Structure formats: C-alpha cells, structure tokens
C-alpha cells in the first residue's frame, strides 16, 4: 500500500495532561461557591447566629435589672448565656443542617453522575465541599460572636443602666471561645459530611444528626460523654468560668476538643477511602 | 483499512454486576474516530450502565474501557478532559439560572469564560439564559444539558437518550446539530436510544444491546442488510391455499396467514416479479403484493434469539 494513501495520522492517541491536583481543587471550589447562590445553606449560615442572641437580648432587655441586681459588668453573664444557648442544641443542629444542605445541592440536581464525569478527581470534589462547609461554619460562628457583641452594645444604648460598656468586653475570652468552639464542631461536622455523602439523601443525614444530638443530651452524664462528637460544643460552652467578676476560659484545647479533632481526622480518612472507589449510580 | 484505524473508544470484554445480578456480559464496543455511533437497546438492556462505565462512574467487574487508546481506569481525569457527556436527565441546579448552570461546569473544567455564551447560543437558549432552570421545559433542560456537554469542545460526546422529552421539532434540531458536529467538526459521538427510527436517520454505526449483551455491531448499511434479509413478502389474493398448490416452487417457503393472505420470506426482486407474473398467469386475482420490514421489536427479538454478534 502506498504511504500517500494512508489517512493522515491522527493525534488523538496523545494523552492530555491531567490538571494538577491543586488546579482541580481551585476549579471545584470556584464551581461550588457559585452553586451556593440562593441556597438554604447560605441563608442558614447568615441567619443561624441571630436566634440565640435574640433570646438572650430579650431576656436582658426585659429582665436585665433583676439579673444584674448584684452589679458589676453584664458582659460575662450576657456572653455565657448566649453561648450556652447556642452550644447546647442549636450549634450541633446547625452543623447537621449545614452539611446536609451543602451536600444536598448536588443530590437534588442528580449531579453526582455529572460531577464525577468531569475532569476533576474524586479527591478534589471531596475536599472542595469540605472546605466550603468549614468556611461557612467559620462565617456562622464569627457572625454569631459579632451579633453577641453588637447586641450588647445595642443594650448599652437602650438600657444604659445595665452597664454594657465597650471597655469591659472580655475580648480575649471571646476569641479563645471562638477558636475552641470551632474545633469542638469539627468532629460532628466530619461525621455528618461522610454520612451525607454516603447516603446521598437529605433525610438520612438530618435524621442521623438529630437522633445523635438528642441521644447525646440523654448521655451527658455518662463518663465517656466527652468522647461523643455531638457533645463537644456544649462542653466548650460550659468551659467558661466567672473569675473575679470577669469571664475567663482556658487558653488551650480541652480533652473533648482533642477528641473532636480525632473524630474529624479519623472519619474523613475513613470516609474518603470508602467513597473513593464507589460506584456512582 | 479498518484494522489500521485506531479505535477512539473501545471496551474489551466488559462485564458488570450489580450485587450478584449480572448486568453486562462481555461487551466489546468499537467506535471509530469521526463516527456517529447509535447505541440501541430496549429500556433496561444495559445502555445507561454501559454509558456510566464509559465515564468511569461505575467500576467494571472485569474487562476494561479504552478512550483515545488509553485505559480509562488509569488516566480517568486526563481522558475525561476530552469527553463531554449527558447521562439520562441533565443534572441541573434548579435554584440557578440557565447561564449559571453552564457557568458552574465551565469553572469546574477551567474552560475559557467566553464559551458560556457560545454554547448557550449554539443550543438556542441565549434569550432564556437568565431564567431559573426550574422554569425550563423538559426540552429546554435537555438542550441546556447538551450545552454543558459541549462546553469544553470535546472530541468525544457521550449522550444517553438525548432526545428524551423533546418535541418533534426539537428531535430534528438535535439530530441536525449532532450530524453537524460529526461531519463538520469531526467529533465522535455515541448516542444511546431505544428508538431505531431515530438512530437510523443519523448514525453511521450501530450497536445493539439486549439483556446486557452486544448482539449486533457494525455500520448502518450492515444493519439494513440484516433487516432486509428478514423482510417478508405479503401476498393478498382470493384463495391462499390453492395459490400455494398451484405454484409449489415459487411459494415453497410460504405460510397461509389468513384464507386470502400468504407470507413468505423475501428472496429477491426477480423472485417477486416472477411470483406476480405466475399468479396472474394462473388466473389468480392479485389484490396486493407488498414488502414488510421487520419492526424494531422483531429485529431485537431475532437478534437475541440468535445471540450472534455480527461484528
């Protein structure tokens, strides 16, 4: 056969270079951020902090004179009441809802099959959504803290007699509480994330999460309660102490927060291994 | 010549099981570059499963998938960079607008920003791009899904039942678009469907799957030949029984379907002409003489009964 009659050599067999892992992650994050637009997950993040602050604000607005009968700065009382209201039930439930809602964006659109057919590895998809949830969780906590301080300052205008003065805000305690509370939510966040990815439904992770939160409350007096990731935010909220009329908290992670970090790392590794080679139907 | 052309898409002895239930048996798909490959089969035959295996969404029990001559299992991300796909219902985010839906995948693939407007224009959704996807009709959703599949200007398009939910006009538009992409832009396209009528109007090659087995694979003319070989000649006359007795040689393979109707396998044009002439010569009235093509169902049944892959 004459060489000139052969079809032009096709170059389609040249293997294109796969995008670098960090490029894949950056692209996934860019897409995931766009998908957050107009979602319940985003609204929940922006509004969740308001509820516990509003309750505490109303208590102090109407009954502040009774609470502050003994005098002193109202900030420690105000901050610890807000934080405990949030930490007991609301914060774990927020994390449960947030993770479920973010993962549900893909499930609702039947987009897992589409997502995994794109030139990004499963690792990038897994890490991208995790980073997004971690960021939203951080935003919600920061908003909560800002609302607590803002509500106190508003009370200083509306109820000047209560003594909310800017100078007496225990900033250092607030910053440490933010950091420690964030760490305390990580364990249950990882569990909920993997559960959401594994079952790919909204009902299952929310059901598991609510069940776990309720069961945790029943188990609080158990000697191993500090090992339950769903109990950690409450443990941290209870770690604040009144010392010499100011609010203090240890500048280090407590045992239950280390357990939370352990759950976070362990569950994520396990979840990633489980999900990496899974069939997508 | 055929053997020297490398295959753009190939599955080698692909098996898939769902739990204990076998779904695919020994599937050898062979798609040549530049072809428009129609992947036919009734619902539940394993079309979607095969498509998912081609994208690495499912892991085969054994066998392998090769795209552009490379093993998918080893180079999945790199190979998918050159593949656009639409699997079953398009994956659309209802809370986002049409444009934002395209944009999400554009960001994910790292495609140039200008492509979003281009693909929306290509599928005729520019005017509706600002509307939320939840307001889209089934046909618009399908077109948006196709736009997303075309984003990266892929060399290989895998489309699973892309005309689902389209009205007759939409089906024609889709067909013309796919033919245009294939002929003018040299794209290789695999389209699955359960309607042979749809596939035969555009495909260059056809694969037929039934109960998880590839029962036919070849060019469209090959399939046509297979069908004509199974065509039936229907003779309508006064008395079928006496016709058969009068012309024992020409009506050797005939069966009496009704008192006035004879069925016989179609042999050749000459045979048909001779039969007509002889019937008239024998003073038998000829009310009708027509060729019946087997229906899709007939073809499938035949293909599954024989279980031979005419590759």
Same domain for B11 and B144 = yes
- Mutation for A interface: B53, B76, B77, most A CBs within 10 A: B77
**Nearest alpha carbon to residue B258 among B238, B281, B277:** B238
Residue whose structure tokens are 């637009």: A37
The secondary structure of residue A89, as a DSSP letter, is: I
The residues pairing with A12 across neighbouring beta strands, listed in sequence order, are none
Q: What distance in Å separates the CA atoms of residue B87 and residue A280, rounded to the nearest whole number?
A: 12
8 Å CB contact of A119 and B109: yes
8 Å CB contact of B93 and A35: yes
Is B191 part of a structural domain of the chain? yes
Q: How far is CA B269 from CA B273, B275, B277, in A?
A: 6, 10, 12
8 Å CB contact of B52 and A280: yes
| CA of A12 vs chain B CAs: smallest distance (Å) | 6
The pLDDT > 90 percentage for chain B reads: 59
Considering only alpha carbons, which residue of chain B is nearest residue A39? B95
Position A162 scores a pLDDT of 87
Q: Are B187 and B157 in contact (CB under 8 A)?
A: yes
8 Å CB contact of A17 and B78: yes
8 Å CB contact of B78 and A279: no
Question: In chain A, which residues have their Cβ closer than 8 Å to the Cβ of B52?
Answer: 113, 280-281
Same domain for B258 and B194 = no
Shortest CB distance from A117 goes to which of B85, B90, B100? B85
Residues A24, A30, A32, A36: what is their CA dihedral angle, to the nearest 10 degrees? 180
Considering only alpha carbons, which residue of chain A is nearest residue B69? A13
Q: What distance in Å separates the CA atoms of residue B311 and residue B216, rounded to the nearest whole number?
A: 7
- Mutation for B interface: A112, A118, A125, A274, most B CBs within 10 A: A118
8 Å CB contact of B91 and A116: no
Question: In chain B, which residues have their Cβ closer than 8 Å to the Cβ of A114?
Answer: 85, 87, 90-91, 105, 148
Q: Are B183 and B171 in contact (CB under 8 A)?
A: no
| CA of B38 vs chain A CAs: smallest distance (Å) | 21
pLDDT tens for chain A, 281 residues long, are 333 344 434 567 778 788 899 999 999 999 999 999 999 999 999 998 899 999 999 999 999 888 888 778 889 989 999 999 898 889 999 999 999 999 999 999 999 999 999 999 999 999 999 999 999 999 999 999 999 999 999 999 998 888 888 878 899 999 999 999 999 999 999 999 999 999 988 999 999 999 999 999 899 889 888 999 999 999 999 998 887 778 888 889 999 999 999 999 999 999 999 988 888 87
Question: In chain B, which residues have their Cβ closer than 8 Å to the Cβ of A111?
Answer: 91-93
Is B299 part of a structural domain of the chain? no
- The CATH number covering residue B267 comes to 3.30.70
- Structure tokens belonging to residue A183: 């760490």
For residues B52-80, give the mean pLDDT: 95
Question: In chain B, which residues have their Cβ closer than 8 Å to the Cβ of A113?
Answer: 52, 55, 57, 87-88, 91
8 Å CB contact of A31 and B91: no
8 Å CB contact of B70 and A119: no
- Structure tokens belonging to residue A99: 């993770």
Same domain for B236 and B214 = no
Between vectors from CA A82 to CA A80 and to CA A83, what angle results, nearest 5°? 65
Same domain for B237 and B203 = no
Give the end-to-end CA distance of chain A in Å, rounded to a whole number.
48
What is the residue range of B248's domain? 232-292
Same domain for B100 and B41 = yes
Tell me which residues of chain B have a C-beta less than 8 Å from any C-beta of chain A: 4-6, 8, 33, 52, 55-59, 68-70, 75-83, 85, 87-96, 100, 103-105, 107-110, 148, 155
8 Å CB contact of B77 and A24: yes
Alpha-helical (H) ranges within A109-160 are 112-115, 122-158
| CA of B17 vs chain A CAs: smallest distance (Å) | 11
Same domain for B164 and B25 = yes
Average pLDDT, chain B: 89
Shortest CB distance from B105 goes to which of A112, A118, A121? A118
Q: What distance in Å separates the CA atoms of residue A182 and residue A237, rounded to the nearest whole number?
A: 11
Domain range list for chain A: 41-276
Is B300 part of a structural domain of the chain? no
Position B296 scores a pLDDT of 56
pLDDT digits (tens, 9 = 90+) for B250-293: 888 888 888 989 998 888 888 899 999 999 999 999 999 988 87
| CA of A102 vs chain B CAs: smallest distance (Å) | 12
Q: What distance in Å separates the CA atoms of residue B170 and residue A77, rounded to the nearest whole number?
A: 67
Question: In chain A, which residues have their Cβ closer than 8 Å to the Cβ of B102?
Answer: none
Overall number of domains in chain B: 2
Q: What distance in Å separates the CA atoms of residue B223 and residue A140, rounded to the nearest whole number?
A: 62
- B97's enclosing H/E stretch is none
- Count A/B contacts: CB-CB distance under 8 Å: 120
Same domain for B274 and B184 = no
Shortest CB distance from A13 goes to which of B6, B96, B104? B6
Residue A238 φ/ψ, nearest 5 degrees: -85, -5
Label residues A73-85 b or e (16+ Cβ within 10 Å = b): bbbbbbbbbbbeb
8 Å CB contact of A119 and B104: no
For residues B219-232, give the mean pLDDT: 77
Label residues B198-215 b or e (16+ Cβ within 10 Å = b): bbbebbbbbbbbbbbbbb
- The CATH number covering residue B34 comes to 3.40.50.300
Q: Is the pLDDT of residue B103 over 90?
A: yes
**Nearest alpha carbon to residue A122 among A23, A205, A25:** A25
B64: helix, coil or strand?
Answer: strand
Burial of B273 (0-12, 13-18, 19+ CB in 10 A): exposed
Q: What distance in Å separates the CA atoms of residue B257 and residue A67, rounded to the nearest whole number?
A: 99
Position A160 scores a pLDDT of 87
Q: How far is CA B240 from CA A98, A133, A204, A279, B39, in A?
A: 77, 78, 68, 59, 41
Considering only alpha carbons, which residue of chain B is nearest residue A34? B104
Q: What distance in Å separates the CA atoms of residue A82 and residue A225, rounded to the nearest whole number?
A: 23
- Given B153, B188, B218, the domain boundary residue is B218
pLDDT digits (tens, 9 = 90+) for B138-181: 889 999 999 999 999 999 999 999 988 788 888 998 999 999 99
Shortest CB distance from A109 goes to which of B8, B81, B92? B92
| CA of A197 vs chain B CAs: smallest distance (Å) | 15
The residues near A132 (Cβ < 8 Å, ≥ 6 apart) are A29, A32, A33, A36, A102
Q: What is the pLDDT confidence band of residue B1, given thresholds at 50, 70 and 90?
A: very low
8 Å CB contact of B94 and A109: yes
Question: In chain B, which residues have their Cβ closer than 8 Å to the Cβ of A102?
Answer: none
Question: In chain A, which residues have their Cβ closer than 8 Å to the Cβ of B79?
Answer: 15-16
pLDDT digits (tens, 9 = 90+) for B287-301: 999 888 776 556 656
The residues near A85 (Cβ < 8 Å, ≥ 6 apart) are A52, A55, A56
**Nearest alpha carbon to residue B200 among B111, B299, B133:** B299
């Amino acid at each position: 056969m004459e060489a000139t009659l052969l079809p032009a050599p096709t170059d389609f067999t040249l293997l294109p270079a796969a995008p670098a892992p960090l490029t894949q992650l950056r692209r996934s994050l860019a897409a995931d951020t766009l998908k957050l637009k107009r979602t319940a997950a985003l609204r929940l993040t922006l509004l969740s902090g308001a509820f516990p602050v509003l309750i505490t604000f109303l208590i102090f607005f109407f009954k502040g004179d009774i609470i502050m009968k003994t005098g002193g700065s109202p900030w420690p009382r105000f901050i610890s009441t807000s934080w405990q209201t949030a930490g007991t039930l609301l914060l774990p439930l927020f994390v449960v809802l947030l993770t479920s809602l973010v993962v549900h964006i893909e499930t609702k659109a039947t987009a897992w099959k589409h997502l995994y057919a794109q030139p990004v590895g499963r690792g990038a998809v897994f890490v991208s959504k995790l980073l997004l949830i971690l960021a939203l969780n951080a935003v919600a906590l920061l908003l909560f803290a800002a609302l607590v301080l803002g509500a106190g300052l508003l009370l200083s205008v509306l109820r000047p007699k209560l003594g909310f003065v800017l100078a007496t805000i225990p900033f250092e305690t607030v910053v440490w509480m933010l950091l420690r509370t964030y760490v305390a939510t990580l364990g249950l966040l990882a569990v909920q994330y993997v559960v959401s990815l594994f079952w790919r439904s909204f009902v299952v992770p929310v059901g598991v999460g609510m069940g776990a939160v309720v069961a945790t409350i029943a188990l609080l007096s158990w000697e191993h309660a500090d090992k339950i990731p769903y109990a950690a935010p409450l443990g941290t909220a209870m770690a604040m102490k009144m010392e010499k009329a100011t609010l203090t908290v240890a500048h280090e992670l407590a045992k239950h927060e280390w357990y939370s970090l352990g759950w976070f790392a362990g569950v994520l590794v396990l979840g990633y291994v489980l999900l990496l080679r899974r069939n997508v139907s | 010549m055929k053997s020297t052309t490398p295959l753009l898409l190939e599955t080698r002895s692909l098996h898939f099981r769902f739990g204990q239930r076998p779904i695919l048996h020994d599937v050898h798909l062979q798609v040549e570059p530049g072809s428009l490959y129609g992947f036919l089969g009734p619902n539940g035959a394993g079309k979607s499963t095969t498509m998912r295996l081609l994208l690495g969404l499912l892991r085969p029990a054994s066998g392998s998938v090769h795209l552009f001559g490379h093993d998918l299992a080893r180079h999945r991300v790199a190979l998918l960079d050159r593949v656009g796909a639409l699997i079953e219902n398009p994956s659309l985010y209802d809370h986002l607008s049409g444009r934002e839906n395209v944009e999400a995948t554009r960001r994910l693939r790292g495609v140039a920003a200008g492509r979003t407007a281009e693909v929306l224009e290509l599928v005729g959704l520019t005017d509706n791009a600002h509307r939320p996807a939840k307001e889209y009709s089934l046909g618009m959703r399908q077109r948006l899904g196709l736009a997303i599949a075309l984003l990266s200007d892929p060399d290989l398009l895998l489309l699973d039942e892309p005309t689902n939910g389209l009205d007759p006009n939409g089906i024609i538009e889709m067909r013309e678009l796919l033919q245009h992409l294939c002929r003018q832009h040299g794209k290789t396209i695999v389209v699955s469907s359960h309607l042979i009528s749809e596939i035969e109007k555009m495909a260059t090659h056809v694969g037929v799957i039934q109960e998880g087995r590839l029962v036919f694979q070849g060019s469209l003319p090959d399939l046509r030949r297979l069908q004509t070989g199974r065509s039936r000649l229907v003779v309508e006359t006064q008395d079928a029984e006496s016709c058969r007795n009068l012309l024992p040689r020409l009506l050797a393979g005939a069966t009496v379907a009704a008192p006035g109707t004879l069925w016989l396998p179609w042999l050749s044009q000459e045979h048909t002409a001779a039969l007509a002439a002889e019937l008239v010569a024998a003073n038998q009235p000829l009310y009708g003489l027509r060729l019946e093509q087997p229906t899709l169902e007939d073809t499938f049944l035949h293909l599954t009964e024989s279980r031979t892959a005419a590759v």
